[in-house]
C-alpha cells in the first residue's frame, strides 16, 4: 500500500488526504478470510511473531523456529492452536491460543498473541481474530479466556477495553527462563 501524506483530493466539498482514500479503497476491495491455521502457514506466522517482537522492543528474544512450531502445533501432542487472517490470499494476521486449566474454574483458553501486520491494523482484523478465539473458547466450553497486554501498549489496551475486559492489576506475571529451569 502506498501512502501519500502530502496530497489531498476534494471529496464531496471537502478535502480528504489521499492516504485515507487509499486505505478506504484497499479495505473495500480486500477479501478478508479468518480460518484455522495449518502447518504450511507457519513461515508467515513466524514472520508475524518476529514483527510483534520488534514492535515490543525485543527483536532478539524470539528463539522459536519453524521446527519448534511444527512440533508444538502439529506433532503427536499439539499444545497450541491458531487462526490466520488472509487478505486477498496473503496472511496478514494471526491469533495463537492454547488450553490451560484453572484449579478453581476448570478449562480455560489462554490467548498468547493476536498479531496483525502494521499495514492492515486499520481494518478490524484484530477484532475478527479475537472474536474467532472467543468462539473457539465457547465451543470448547471454556470458563474464561485470559491474556496479557504490556502496560505501555495503549493501542492494545484500548482494543481490549471495548470488550469490557477485566484488567487484573492485583495479579503479577511470574516466570522462570529456560536458563533458570536448567539450573534449578
| Residues with catalytic function | 160
- Indicate the pairing of strand 106-116 with strand 145-146: parallel
CA 35 to chain centre: 13
User: CB under 8 Å to 61, separation ≥6 — which residues?
Assistant: 53
Q: What's the rounded Cα separation, in Å, for the pair 68 and 113?
A: 17
Cβ atoms 107, 135 nearer than 8 A: no
Check: CB of residue 30 under 8 Å from CB of residue 88. yes
Helix (H) or strand (E) segment spanning residue 51: helix 42-55
Report the candidate in 31, 129, 47 with the shortest Cα–Cα distance to residue 88: 31
Amino acid at each position: 500500500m502506498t501512502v501519500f501524506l502530502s496530497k489531498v483530493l476534494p471529496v464531496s466539498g471537502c478535502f480528504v488526504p489521499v492516504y485515507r482514500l487509499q486505505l478506504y479503497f484497499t479495505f473495500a476491495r480486500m477479501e478478508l478470510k479468518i480460518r484455522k491455521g495449518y502447518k504450511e502457514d507457519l513461515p508467515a506466522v513466524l514472520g508475524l511473531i518476529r514483527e510483534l517482537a520488534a514492535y515490543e522492543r525485543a527483536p532478539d528474544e524470539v528463539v522459536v523456529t519453524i521446527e519448534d512450531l511444527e512440533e508444538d502445533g502439529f506433532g503427536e501432542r499439539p499444545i497450541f492452536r491458531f487462526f490466520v487472517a488472509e487478505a486477498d490470499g496473503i496472511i496478514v494476521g494471526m491469533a495463537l491460543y492454547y488450553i490451560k486449566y484453572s484449579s478453581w474454574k476448570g478449562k480455560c483458553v489462554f490467548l498468547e498473541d493476536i498479531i496483525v501486520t502494521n499495514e492492515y491494523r486499520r481494518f478490524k482484523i484484530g477484532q475478527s481474530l479475537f472474536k474467532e478465539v472467543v468462539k473457539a473458547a465457547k465451543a470448547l466450553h471454556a470458563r474464561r479466556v485470559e491474556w496479557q497486554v504490556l502496560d505501555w501498549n495503549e493501542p492494545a489496551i484500548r482494543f481490549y477495553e471495548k470488550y469490557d475486559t477485566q484488567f487484573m492489576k492485583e495479579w503479577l506475571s511470574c516466570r522462570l527462563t529456560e536458563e533458570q529451569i536448567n539450573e534449578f
